[in-house]
Amino acid sequence: MSSNFLPDPSSVRYDGPWTHRDVHANGIRFHVVEAAPERTDAPLVVLLHGFADFWWSWRHQLTGLTEMGFRAVAVDLRGYGDSDKPPRGYDGWTLAGDIAGLIRALGHTEAALVGHAEGGLVCWATAVLHPRLVRAIALVSSPHPGALKSAVLRDRRQRRTWLPNFLRYQLPRYPEYRLTTNDGFEVERLLRQRVTGSWSGTAEFVDAARRMRSAIQIPGAAHCALEYQRWAFRSQWRPDGRRFMATVRVPIGIPVLALRGESDNYLLRSTFHRGLRWSPHRRMVTVPNAAHFAHQENPDVVTAELAKFLG
Structure confidence by residue, pLDDT tens digits, 43-76: 999 999 999 999 999 999 999 999 999 999 999 9
CA nearest to 187, candidates 160, 222, 157: 222
Average pLDDT for 182-194 = 98
Q: Are the beta carbons of 19 and 89 closer than 8 angstroms?
A: no
Report the domain count for the chain: 1
In a domain, 96, yes or no: yes
Please report, for the domain that includes residue 253, its CATH number: 3.40.50.1820
Mean pLDDT for all residues in the chain = 96
Q: Which pLDDT score, from 0 to 100, does residue 2 have?
A: 45
Taking 90 as the threshold, does the pLDDT of residue 284 lie above it? yes
CA nearest to 35, candidates 80, 68, 77: 68
Taking 60 as the threshold, does the pLDDT of residue 244 lie above it? yes
Compute the C-alpha angle 85/143/229, nearest 5°: 30
Sheet holding 71-75, edge to edge: 19-25, 28-34, 71-75, 44-48, 111-116, 134-140, 256-261, 282-287
In a domain, 6, yes or no: no
In a domain, 9, yes or no: no
**pTM of this structure:** 0.97
* Domain around 269: 18-310
In a domain, 8, yes or no: no
In a domain, 196, yes or no: yes
Instruction: Report the percentage of the chain scoring pLDDT > 90.
Output: 94
Average pLDDT for 276-285 = 94
Rounded CA gap, 25 and 101, in Å?
5
In a domain, 95, yes or no: yes
DSSP lists the bridge partners of residue 116 as 140
Residue 192, helix vs strand vs coil: helix
Rounded CA gap, 236 and 204, in Å?
38
